[in-house]
Structure formats: C-alpha cells, structure tokens
Structure 1
Amino acid sequence: MSYNDFIIRDNLKEAYPDVYTPEALSALSALAHFNKRIKEVMATRMQRRAARQQNKTRITFLDPESTIPGTDIKVQDAREGKFEGSVIPADLQRQWIQGTGPAAKPDTPVESSIRNVAYALLSGADGWMFDGEDALGQISTMSLDNQRNLKLAIHKDPVFLKVAAKVAEEMNRWSKSFLGRDIVTDWESQLNFTTKIFRARGLHLDDRHIRDADGVAMAASIVDPTLYVVNNYKELQKNGSSIVLYLPKIQTAEEAGVWGSLLDALEDHLGLEAGTIKVYVLVEQLEATHQLMEIRAALGKHFVGYNTGRWDYINSVSDAMAWDTDFVNPNIEAITMTYGYMRNYEDRVRRTVNTPDINGNFALWQGGMEPNIPVGSEEGVSASMKKAVAGAEREQREGASGKWVAHWKMVHIVRPVWEKVGDANQLGREFPRLSYTQQDADGLILIEPAPTDIRGARNLLSVALQYGNAFGQGMQAAALKPADFFGNDDILYLMEDMATGEIRLSILWEWVHKGAIITEADSETDTSAGTVFSEALYIKLLDQEYDKLLKADTKDVYESSKSTTLPIAREIADVYILSEVKPPWFIDLLNINLNNSDLDTAKSRIDLYMTTLAQEGTRITENLDFVGYEKRADVSAL
C-alpha cells in the first residue's frame, strides 16, 4: 500500500490495522519529512567518526561561544542552565525501580506474547520501559507485535486482562517460595501502579517495514514514537499517566535537537501542549558525556532525566578510541561503574541533572541496570543478590533516584534499598557544577590497571556468539553466561541484551588489533603472562568456544540454531574482529541478516556491508528483504 509520503511493505497495513490506524498513518505522513534530516545527521556522525580515526583525534568539548547546531541555543547558556526545562510529572517523581524488557516474544500468538507486559505491570516496579530497541527482537514483525501488545495492555483489552489474571497467580507462586509472601494482592488495581514508558529505536536504525516516498528506509526513530504515542496518548491521559519515552544512542546536542523537533511536530499534529511528551535520555555514548547540559537544553520541556547505562557506553568509548593503540580495555568483568572512565562518566551525569534550569527545575538520574536474576543454586543466588543490593545501595548513595532491573523477579529484591530511605527522589541534591577542562576530558577515557586474561577472552567470545545467535532467533534479550559455566548453578545467568554483544566484540577487536598484553598465565593455551594477544590466539579460542556451543544442550543453545543462526553469528563475529576497518555497530551486521538462516547469503551480505563501509564510509541500515524495491543493483542477488 502506497501513500504520498511513505510505503508500507507487503500486506502489513491490512495485517496490523490496530497499529497502522488512520490516525497513526496521518501522523507518519506529517512527520515523514524528518527522514531526510535524520539521514543528514547520521551521515555527519559517520564523518566525525571517520575524521577521528584518520586524524587520530579525541572527542572534545564544544566551543562555549558556539551555537548548538540546528538550534538557537548558545552552548554557554546551556551549560549555565539558561533554558526552560521540565517540571517532573507526578507519576515520575518516584521511580525507585524501573524494569525493562520487550512487550513481545518471537513467533508466538498474542495470548503468549503479551505475558511479557503482564509480568511487567504486575511486578511492583515504579516504571517499566517497554523496549523497542536493544531488548526487542526484530525478526518478522516483532516491532509491530510490540506495539500491538502495548496498545492492548494500556487499553485494558479483555485479551490482556485474561492473561494478567493468570500471570498474577504464577508470580505469587514464585514469590511465596522465594520471598515468603505474595507480591500481587489485587492484580487489577496493581496494573495501574507502574508508569508505562517506551524506548524507541535510535536515530541510527531504520524501520524494516516502511520506506519514504523516495524509497529510502524510514528512520525507526520516526516510526516507533509515532505509533506508540498516537495509539495510546488518549488512554494514558484519561488515566492520568504521562506520555514517556526513553531515547537511546544520542551522541550530540544536535541529534537531541532533532529528537526535540520531531516530538514538537508530533505534539503539534495531535494538538498536545508543548512538552507533553516527556523523555529520559540514555547516556550511552562518549561524545554525549561531553555535551550533557547541551543535550538537556536541546530537549527543553521534554527532558526529565538521564539514565547511566553500562553496556553501550563501554562500546562507544572503545569505538571512539579505536585509533589509539594505548587505549585497551581489560576484561569486561572489571569495567564496573566504579572503573576509571565509567566513574567519571557517572559523576558528570549526576552533576548535570542537579544543575537547575532557568526556572529552578532539576532533572532525574536513573541508575544503571541490574542483570542478575534469582535463578540458580542457593549459594549462587545468595551471593548474586547481595551483590545486586550492594550495587543499588552505592548508586543511591551517589545520588541516583532509582535504577533499572532486567527481570521482574528483581523488583522486590532491589526496591527496598530506596524504600528504606523513603525519599521519592534526589532532585536538587548538591554536587559541584560541571567543568570542561582537559583533566575532565582525560577522565572520560581513563584506563586503570585490571586483568586482561584468557578467561576474560573466552567470556567475551562465548557471550558475544550467543547474543548474535539469540538475535537471529528473535531474542535480543536473553539470560546467558559463558559456555564453560553451563551446568554450574553457582554461576548465574545474566539477563542482558544485544548491547552486551556490542561491548564484547569491540573489546576483542582492541585486543587483536592493538596487541593486548595477557596479564595472567593460562595452562590450557600454554600462554604466559606478558604474551601479546594475537590473531592466531583469537582464532584458536574462537574454534574452542564455538565447539562448546555446538556441543551444548538445547537449554543453552537451541539445537535448531546450530546449523542456521549460530554459524552466521560466528561469521559476523569473525569478520568484525579481524577487519582492519572497525565496524561501528555489531547490530548492523545482524540486522541485514534478520530472517536469514543461509550462511552463503549471510556471507554475501556481510561482504556488501564491509565493502560499502570501507569504500564509501557509510552503513547499510535498510531491510534488504523489502520486497519490490532494490536500492542497490547488487542487493537483488542476495
């Protein structure tokens, strides 16, 4: 079906009339012109990246006398809080625990898929970020299933209510055995407790189902918020709920300004008061930490807070410093929120949110993700839960108003940290104002001594391969652990998402191309301390770790994936790590192979991507299976 401003592939308009409603299609048409602007800022992003690599330059702070591109905001004014921000809405004042996860499952009927939403809204979390990005699989029509399930839940459709009643019983059976009490007392009223939040895909990703009038893939950052807001804003407002989004992967204030303009236009189209749509921003990019006040100013009345994620941020630092042979990350397990550059990044965020705007408004800081889940041996669970609580206590002491959990079972384990304190939030807690010195910049790339060993390399490889495989199966979020610990219930599975695969390949790329020094001897590989991590050593470990996955039980690695998506995951990881030209995103190579289980086809697509990146400096982000349109002459053969 064609429209003046965009094209929807196949028969999806007819298959999802509840998502592609006339109102939603009208809004998409009104916002379609943003596609060109988004493509421009993404091209600029790639140009900056290429220039840094070629000229071997670090990211720097903006000139305080300059104006944020695309806005009329002076950088110095932004830093001094001379802009109008947002009053924090009532339902965001207390967000001690926010859960996160997708609202849909791959290849399952609505009654099964929508269980994800029921678990979330009955969990007792103060807010739940339903993910349309890193944790949501994208095979088939999962992005549309995600939207459908959210609409059914927000409108309390009978289909959802029937599922929620059953899920409440299941949750209480677990909680009685683990916590000694029910966690759901009145399931119907509890559905109203949790603030609904939606994470749209970033500016760097394209929607798989829509192209603009010129045949260019539509930015997912137009499609996702439009479908969510248009289909749900009336019901949310009727129930006294805010319309809240999480915005990922923003690198600059210019990009934040594009988001701000997009949301302004959506509000204007719907007749909503300016600033009605509220946003948290995930700080996932090194460049963003150099422009935090500027990003906050560019989003103005929309902005309510920052979140300090760990996974993507590590990847961004690695990517920005790929040219520097002296910058080598250690084992991933060492890079906690108190490590070197992570510690300095977190400190800048808390100083930013506690700087008042022109009206004296502060912003929220939502702490990082807790990936542990209480499933395993009694000893393993006990140790991991103590670690989880200690991490929450540290963030609360440092000034966070709450944190994230990746599984509903963790809500009642971690939330008491904030309940004991009792304060709704830590808005306005006093911290020093941000400074913009060379010392500050150096702190944001500070590497500290930590292990770089064979055990760490195995963990990086094993988990990266598993996440690539899970992605191909439609599960961008999954509970995984290194293959050597399969069957060991003392080592818990961690509930993480696709971003953790990004980190691992980035670090392995560093180790291979910068010659990381192994810090501990390893008898299995006959490696001594001081050995340089070589390409040959990487290949040896890859063969070994891949073999373990092939031999794993289906509980850990689906048997059917071993001849379909797992070989593709290996091919992508191998090309990524061995390439002299570092790919900007692991997920790009996975995205172009969604719904593909043929290794030869995958190799052709990977080669196309890497050749385009090397020769043109651009990424392939479109759906190569979009029937009826081939942008590139050589795509049709794939």
Structure 2
Amino acid sequence: MRTTTLTTHPNVQIRDQLATEYADIYTPEALAALGFMARLGDKQKRLMDERMRRRAARIRERRPLAFLDPEALIPGTTIRVGDAREGNFIGAEIPLDLRRQWIQGTGPAAKPNAPIESSLRNVAYALLSGADGWMFDGEDALGQITAMSLDNQRSLKRALARDPLFLEVAEQVAGEMNTWARGFLGREIIADWRTQLDRTTVIFRARGLHLDDRHLRVDGRSFSASIVDLTLYVVNNYRALQQRGASLVLYLPKIQTAEEAGFWNHLLSALEGHLGLAEGTIKTYVLVEQLEATFQLMEIRAALGRHFVGYNTGRWDYINSVCDANCWDPGFVNPNIESILMTYGYMRHYEDRVRRAVNTPDTNGNCALWQGGMEPNIPVGSQQGVASSMDKARAGAVREQQAGASGKWVAHWKMVHIVRPVWEAAGEDNQLGRSFPPLGYTEEDAANLTLLEPAPRTVRGARNLLSVALQYGNAFGQGMQAAALKPADFFGNDDILYLMEDMATGEIRVSILWEWIHKGASLTEDDPETGLKAGDLFSAEVFLRLLDEEYAKLLAAGHRDVHEKSKTTTLPIARAIVEAYVLDPVKLPWFIDLLNINLNNTDLGLARQRIADYLAAFKAQGMRITENLDTAPPAGR
C-alpha cells in the first residue's frame, strides 16, 4: 500500500497523497480524533466476526431468529432486556429541529469524477428542496470509486460553512428549481433562497459496521468505515451546525443487534468526550433494515439511550435481510419483488413492531420518531405515467401517515412538494405518543415476522429482478450507487417511470433470484415467450437463459440507459458478479462485497479471480474480504 504515515499519529496510514489532497478533510483536529477513535476498531471487527458466526450457526442448525431472554443483560451494557422492553431507560428528548420531519430526502453530496461545483449542486438541490430534513448519504447511495467518500465530506463541509462557491451554486440552482416548479406545479417553490438553505435539517448517514474504509488503515490493517465517516463528519461540521442552532444528526444503517447499537453508543460518547461535547449531543435515527433488529427494537432504543431519536422503515434492505436470515429454510420463498409491499405479510408485521416500539415511552415519558419508507418515484415521463405514479406516491404517504408515521422519505427533490401536502393536511408536527398496543414477544409474534402470503412468481418478475440487478451492478462500478433504473423491456416507454435505486435494490434482487434457484421455487403463471408453465421450476438453466437475454438487451440499449463505455468495462463485471452470486449454492451475506472488491477495476479476468478468491475465503473460513484490494499489503506482510 502506498501510504502517507502521519508523524503525529503513526498508527494511522492514509493511501497515496490523499492526506495532502484532502487536507481540508483530514485536518489536524480530524486526524487527532481518528487517532483517538482508532482504539475502537478491534471491537468493530469482533462484532462483525460474531455476526458471521451467528449466521453460520443458524444455517447449520436450521434455526430461526428468536427474541432475547427478558432476564438477560443486553450484551455490552448493564441494561436488562426486560427493562428495555418496559421503557425503563433514559432516552432522548426530541430536539426542536427534528420535531417536524414530514418529508426527508436522501441522496449523496458528491458525483463521480466531478468538479466540486457539480457535487455542490447536489447539496443545493437538497437544502433548497423544501424537505424538513435531508439525509446526505455516505453509504448505499454514495459511489465509492476513486475518493468519493472524501468528496462527499468535502461538499458537506463547504456547504455547511456557507462557502462562497456553495452560495454561488445555490443561487443558480434556486433559479433552475423555480423554473421547473412553475412548469410542473404552476408556482415557484423558493421565495428567498438564502433563508431556504437554513430550513432543512442536515442529517448524515455513515457507512455500516460491515464495511471498511477504502483510504485509511490503522497499524497496517483495514479499518471501520463507520468510525471514519462518523469522525470526519462530526469533527468537520459540529461547530458550523452549533453556530446555527442546528442539531448534529446521524442515520445509523444495518444494525442487527442491541449489542451493535450499544457499540455505536460507545463510539458516539467517545467522540463527544474527545471533542468536549455533552453526552447525547449527537442524535441518531436507526434504519431498521435487518430482521434480527426487529426482534430487539426496544433493546436497541435502550442501548443508544440519549442519542436515539427515531427509527426508519425502509423496504429493499429489510426484504433482503429476511431472505438472508431464512436462506436455510426451503419453505421460505419470496414472490415477485413487486408484490412485497409494506402491506405484505412479514412487511406489515415489521412495520407494526416499529410503530409500537417508538410509541413506548421511556422513564421520562419520551417517545421516539418513526420516519416512513422510501418513495423512489421521479416525476419525469409521460403525462399519464407521471400522473399515475404520483397518485400512487400520495396514496402510499396517506397510508403511512394514517398508520402513525411522523414523516417519510423521498429519493428525489422534485417529490418533496408532491408528497408533503399529505402531512400538511394532517397538520400535526409528529405522532409522538399516539397510543398503540405494547409489543408482544410470543411465538406468534416471531412467526409473523417471516409470514409469507400467496403472490405471483413469474418469468416477468425474474426478468425484472435480473435486468435491474445487472444495471445496478454496472452503475455501482461507474460510481453511481444512486441511479434511476427500470427493467430493459421498458426502456423507451415513458408510461413506466424510472425509479431512484441504491445499493439495497441490488442486494434484494440477487437474493430473491438465489432463493428461487436453490429452494426449487416454482412459477405461478404460464409464460408464452419462454414456453414455461405454471408449476415449472425456476432452475439454474432458466436463470442462465434469462441472463443471456437480459444482458443482450442492455448491450443493445442506447447511451441514455446504458453508457456505451460501460458495455466493455463495468457491465461484463456486473454480469460475472450477478452470475457468481446467484448460482453458488452457498448464500453470500452481501452482494456489495463482490462489487466493492472490484471498484476501479475494468479487467474482467481480474474480477473473476477476485470473485473466486472471495468465495474461497468465505467457504473455507467464513471470512468476508472487505478491504480495498488495490491498496492492501501483499499477502504475508
């Protein structure tokens, strides 16, 4: 690894010349904090090893997930499980700027291979959108090629500091947004762009505990991306936020257990102590993206204590986790992804548990926020297509508001003013304290979290899964982890809208395809095009035929849908990854792992070797390869 070793913190190494090129991010204060936080990296690695051991044991023993023993202590804490469930812990009061979060947008603050002015446009669109909050993503929606994680940090720092370049960009973007709004909404949406910039609560999503940073190592070893993201964001921005009276807020992704939540609590408290901030200064939402977490919701709240303000209920990541947690069960087979809505079987019960968990008061009577799921639509297409999709978007928002959500997510700034009126009509800032029955912990409650209901499983559904999985893998390789996608058969059909998708869409699509093949899933409908009949198995042979056909469509697609350069570089690698993941009888824990080890690589032969090495390491040792292979030390060193 070509590194810059820091003389003041010799245990921290930064690759190439990034310490100099990003000296505005790797400031002396930030480096001092990273050196301080580095001591916590070993605990992160232990927790991730324990994840893999738990997973392997469940698969080996064919054992479903279960609730914790109410008499036990939450591991790593002094909190009794039963006390957490009853609300016998001290949580957080909701800060003023989080009490009304009707609409939160989400997206990255950086673009691939783009100048700073271009990335700053992302931030300007977000902060001028009219959203109550914006989650600037460092994880699922942020590309990771080159130094994008640092570009993301740079854009946010300059925007929050109200750098003159950002203000220049924001003024221009405000005019463009008003031009769109006059045409689409019949009115302007920004009266005073300077004032509007301070309206939206800034939130940052760090990368999950399962990921390693691509640029920094500690004592020559790979190091937690979570700790890097948390440290750089907080150190570089807490003063600017506090000067405006704004809260310091994070989203924490991919937490699986209350013990992991307790580790996050320790990270937050350690950094607060290092910076001289009061404990609980940093507020956190938790994305409930893992089935295991749904068995421990009150325990997670209690473990995060004064830092915790709310939960978010996503869709794709959660479906993927349910699929993965039941990979050992031949009777658990999902239908078409289009059927698994928030009202479907296990999703309905998942949402219900989150609703009850946030409205269970703590010792001081404080409840928590529930931010609803993602609206991925973009209002771009035919008049009929846009009208139909917007009606569905509003109907989904109405359902969530009536169910008790304090707000929801949108994936594109144009959706803010389309969905926001649902909450404006309701009028209440939030739904804290709304009465719901307490959480149950019976065998029936556990079974409901994996409840399947009859729904189609079709060749059309398989094509959609495959086409989007291939496109997403290709977009990831190009540095666009957030991408507007739809199945290739609908390219050119403006009645079918593109949806904003991120890493989760790739994860769930390959997981369902794996499930169909390795559990002997049968189709529910005839398919005249292939000649397959209802009752036929979705076999590896069927998958390979559809893979060839869907891949050919992408090769033939225009540049708008599939960049020409990618057809001979990242698209073949995306195909190799999808094929390897889906066909291997061993269910891999993360699709993103195979994508990450091939970032900045366009050599198909090298990609195949890296895929093979990953599979071999995982099968032999249960070990995930999570580091940047382009900068890793040679084997044996």
1:32 aligns with 2:49: no
Between the aligned partners of 2:120 and 2:223, the Cα distance in structure 1 is: 27
Between the aligned partners of 1:107 and 1:434, the Cα distance in structure 2 is: 48
Between the aligned partners of 1:414 and 1:51, the Cα distance in structure 2 is: 44
Q: 1:590 aligns with which of 561, 586, 595?
A: 595
Q: 1:504 aligns with which of 506, 509, 514?
A: 509
1:60 aligns with 2:60: no
Map of 2:96 onto structure 1: 90
Between the aligned partners of 1:224 and 1:113, the Cα distance in structure 2 is: 18
Between the aligned partners of 1:6 and 1:217, the Cα distance in structure 2 is: 10
Post-superposition CA distance 1:63-87 (Å, at most 9, x none): 0010111111110010011110000
SS in 1 for 2:446: helix
SS in 2 for 1:312: helix
Q: 1:42 aligns with which of 41, 44, 48?
A: 48
Q: 2:574 aligns with which of 557, 569, 578?
A: 569
Q: Where do residues 234-633 of structure 1 align in structure 2 (5 Å cutoff)?
A: 234-626=239-631, 629-630=633-634, 632-633=635-636
Q: Deviation above 6 Å: which 4+ runs of structure 1?
A: none
* Counterpart residue identity of residue 357, structure 2: T
RMSD (Å), alpha carbons: 0.7
Between the aligned partners of 2:223 and 2:529, the Cα distance in structure 1 is: 50
Map of 1:101 onto structure 2: 107
Between the aligned partners of 1:103 and 1:447, the Cα distance in structure 2 is: 38
Post-superposition CA distance 1:223-246 (Å, at most 9, x none): 001000000001100000000000
Between the aligned partners of 1:72 and 1:211, the Cα distance in structure 2 is: 32
Between the aligned partners of 1:477 and 1:272, the Cα distance in structure 2 is: 34
SS in 1 for 2:58: helix
Q: How far did residue 446 of structure 1 move?
A: 0.3
1:121 aligns with 2:121: no
Between the aligned partners of 1:433 and 1:5, the Cα distance in structure 2 is: 48
Post-superposition CA distance 1:454-479 (Å, at most 9, x none): 00000000000000000000000111
Q: How far did residue 498 of structure 1 move?
A: 1.2
Between the aligned partners of 1:400 and 1:4, the Cα distance in structure 2 is: 48
Between the aligned partners of 2:396 and 2:598, the Cα distance in structure 1 is: 37
Between the aligned partners of 1:538 and 1:184, the Cα distance in structure 2 is: 49
Between the aligned partners of 1:146 and 1:68, the Cα distance in structure 2 is: 35
Map of 1:175 onto structure 2: 181
Between the aligned partners of 1:237 and 1:26, the Cα distance in structure 2 is: 21
SS in 2 for 1:33: helix
Map of 1:131 onto structure 2: 137
Map of 2:162 onto structure 1: 156
* % same residue: 70
Query: TM-score of the superposition, structure 1-length normalised?
Result: 0.98
Q: How far did residue 305 of structure 1 move?
A: 0.1
Map of 1:16 onto structure 2: 22
SS in 2 for 1:415: helix
Q: How far did residue 5 of structure 1 move?
A: 2.9
Between the aligned partners of 1:616 and 1:6, the Cα distance in structure 2 is: 28
Q: How far did residue 516 of structure 1 move?
A: 1.0
Post-superposition CA distance 1:165-188 (Å, at most 9, x none): 110111111111000000111101
* Counterpart residue identity of residue 166, structure 2: F
Between the aligned partners of 1:482 and 1:438, the Cα distance in structure 2 is: 39
1:188 aligns with 2:194: yes
* Counterpart residue identity of residue 106, structure 1: P
* Counterpart residue identity of residue 46, structure 2: E
Post-superposition CA distance 1:92-129 (Å, at most 9, x none): 00000000000000000001111100000000000000
* Counterpart residue identity of residue 102, structure 1: P
Between the aligned partners of 1:333 and 1:516, the Cα distance in structure 2 is: 17
SS in 2 for 1:368: strand
SS in 2 for 1:246: strand
SS in 1 for 2:360: coil
Between the aligned partners of 2:437 and 2:137, the Cα distance in structure 1 is: 33
Post-superposition CA distance 1:23-76 (Å, at most 9, x none): 100111110011100000000000000001111000100000101111111100
SS in 1 for 2:24: coil
* Counterpart residue identity of residue 521, structure 1: D
Q: Which consecutive unaligned segments of at least 5 residues does structure 1 have?
A: none
Q: How far did residue 4 of structure 1 move?
A: 2.9
Q: 1:110 aligns with which of 116, 119, 138?
A: 116
Q: Which stretch of structure 1 is more off in the superposition, 524-533 or 285-294? A: 524-533
Between the aligned partners of 1:30 and 1:355, the Cα distance in structure 2 is: 36
Between the aligned partners of 1:415 and 1:30, the Cα distance in structure 2 is: 42
SS in 2 for 1:183: coil
Between the aligned partners of 2:119 and 2:102, the Cα distance in structure 1 is: 27
Between the aligned partners of 2:324 and 2:98, the Cα distance in structure 1 is: 34
* Counterpart residue identity of residue 373, structure 1: I
Post-superposition CA distance 1:568-620 (Å, at most 9, x none): 00000000000111110000000000000000000010001000000000100
Between the aligned partners of 2:618 and 2:256, the Cα distance in structure 1 is: 20
* Counterpart residue identity of residue 438, structure 2: R
Between the aligned partners of 1:373 and 1:584, the Cα distance in structure 2 is: 31
Map of 1:207 onto structure 2: 213
* Counterpart residue identity of residue 543, structure 1: D
SS in 2 for 1:103: coil
Query: TM-score of the superposition, structure 2-length normalised?
Result: 0.99
Q: How far did residue 515 of structure 1 move?
A: 1.1
SS in 2 for 1:100: strand
Between the aligned partners of 1:38 and 1:212, the Cα distance in structure 2 is: 13
SS in 2 for 1:341: helix
SS in 2 for 1:304: strand
SS in 1 for 2:483: strand
Post-superposition CA distance 1:513-556 (Å, at most 9, x none): 01111011001100111111111000000000000000000100
* Counterpart residue identity of residue 23, structure 1: E
Between the aligned partners of 1:603 and 1:549, the Cα distance in structure 2 is: 21
Q: Which consecutive unaligned segments of at least 5 residues does structure 2 have?
A: none
SS in 1 for 2:356: helix
How many correspondences in the alignment?
631
